[in-house]
Amino acid sequence: MVKNVTPKQLAIYSALFISLFVTIIISLGVFGKLLSTNFLNVLLLGVLTFVSAYFIISTALKRYIYRKIKLIYKSIHSSKRSAKDKKYIDMNEDIMTEVEQEVADWATSRENEIESLREMEQYRRDFMGDVSHELKTPIFSIQGYLHTLLDGALHDEKINEDYIRKAAKNVERLQTIVDDLEAISRLESGELILDIRSFDIKLLCEEVFEELEMLAKSNDISLVFKEGAANAFQVKADRDSIRQVLVNLISNSIKYGKEGGQTKISFYDMDSVILIEIADNGIGIAEDHLKHLFDRFYRVDKSRSRRQGGSGLGLSIVKHIIEAHKQTINVRSTEHIGSTFGFTLKKG
C-alpha cells in the first residue's frame, strides 16, 4: 500500500495519523485541564487537526517534489521542460515512480546512444582503412608502371604499350571506386531521386542478359529464366536503378559461377510485391560471410575479387537501392552448391 503511494495519499495518511494521535492524547486527558474533553470538542479538534496537517503536509510535499523533479530534469534533459518541470503537480499521480521510470528510460537511451557512437566510430575507422587500402593498390600499380616508363622503358617497344595499357586499367579501377563511393553517398544522403514508374521486370532482365552476353560466354555460363517465368510481371520502381541492381547481381553470378554453369532468374507473385531471384550453381559462399556480404568493401575471396575487378562496393549499392525503394533483399548460399539473391519490388 505504501510502495506506490501518490503524494495526495501520503498527505492523507500522514494527516490522519497526526489527527488520531492528537485526538487520543486529548481523550486521555493529557490536556484536560486546558481543553474541554467532551466528545464533540475532541471530534472537532481532530477534524481541524487533520485539515491543518493535510494542508501543511501537501504543500510541503509539493514544494519538495517540485524541487527534486526540477533537479532531475535539469540533469537528464538538455532543453527546458514544460510538462513535469513546473510548479503545478498532480497530487493524484504517483509522481516519483513516473520520474523514476523516465530516469531509467533516459539512462537506457544514453547507454544506447553511447554504444551507437562507439559503433559509428569503429565503422568510420574501418571505412577509412578500407578506402585507403582499396585506393592504394591501383595507385601503387600506376605509380610503378609510370616510373618504369620514365626510367627508360618508354622507348622499349616490347613493354611500353603493355605498361600504358595496365596503367590505364588501374585508372579505370580508381574511377570505378570513386563513382561507386559517390553513388553510395547520394543514396545515403537521399539526394538520389527515384523515378518510380510501372515496367515489365522480365523485359528488363532480358535487356541485362543481352548486355552481359559476352561476359557470360567468356565464362561459359548460360543465362536462363526459370520455368514459369515466361509471363510479364509489372513492377513499380526506378527502372535505371533496378537495371543497376540486376547488372551487379547477374555479373557477380557469372564471375563466381562454375564453368559450364548457369544463372537463373525467377519471379514470384507475392500479393502486393514481386520477388525476383537470381540463382547460380557456382562456388557458393560460406555461412559466416553472409552477414557481412552487403558491407562496404567486404570481399569473400579478396585475391579473386580484385582479379575480377570491381570496387567492392557493388552489393552495398544494391542494398541501398533496394532499401531506397522501401523493399528488402536477402541471400542464401551453400558452398560448392551455389547462391541465390532475392529482392522484392512493389507490384505494378
pLDDT in tens, 102-115: 777 777 887 887 88
Highest mean pLDDT among 57-61, 122-126, 316-320: 316-320
Reading the block at residue 228, the C-alpha cell is 514459369
Confidence of residue 73 (pLDDT cuts 50, 70, 90): low
How many residues comprise the chain? 348
Average pLDDT over residues 317-341: 90
Q: CATH 1.10.287.130 residue ranges in the chain?
A: 122-189
Confidence of residue 204 (pLDDT cuts 50, 70, 90): very high
Confidence of residue 233 (pLDDT cuts 50, 70, 90): confident
145 backbone φψ class: left, alpha, beta (φ>0; ψ -120 to 50): alpha
Compute φ and ψ for 278, nearest 5 degrees. Answer: -115, 110
Compute φ and ψ for 347, nearest 5 degrees. Answer: -70, 140
Confidence of residue 179 (pLDDT cuts 50, 70, 90): confident
pLDDT at 19: 78
pLDDT at 327: 93
Reading the block at residue 211, the C-alpha cell is 548486355
Asked if the model's pLDDT at residue 91 lies above 70, the reply is: no
Buried b (16+ CB within 10 A) or exposed e, 141-160: bbeebeebbeeebeeeeeeb
Tell me the CATH architecture of domain 122-189.
Orthogonal Bundle (1.10)
Confidence of residue 127 (pLDDT cuts 50, 70, 90): low
Confidence of residue 228 (pLDDT cuts 50, 70, 90): confident
Q: How far is CA 160 from its chain centroid? A: 50
For the 196-347 domain, the top CATH level (class) is alpha beta
Reading the block at residue 173, the C-alpha cell is 579501377
Compute φ and ψ for 224, nearest 5 degrees. Answer: -140, 165
Asked if the model's pLDDT at residue 182 lies above 90, the reply is: no
Q: CATH 3.30.565.10 residue ranges in the chain?
A: 196-347
pLDDT at 25: 72
d(CA 152, CA 275): 58
CB 143 within 8 A of CB 158: no
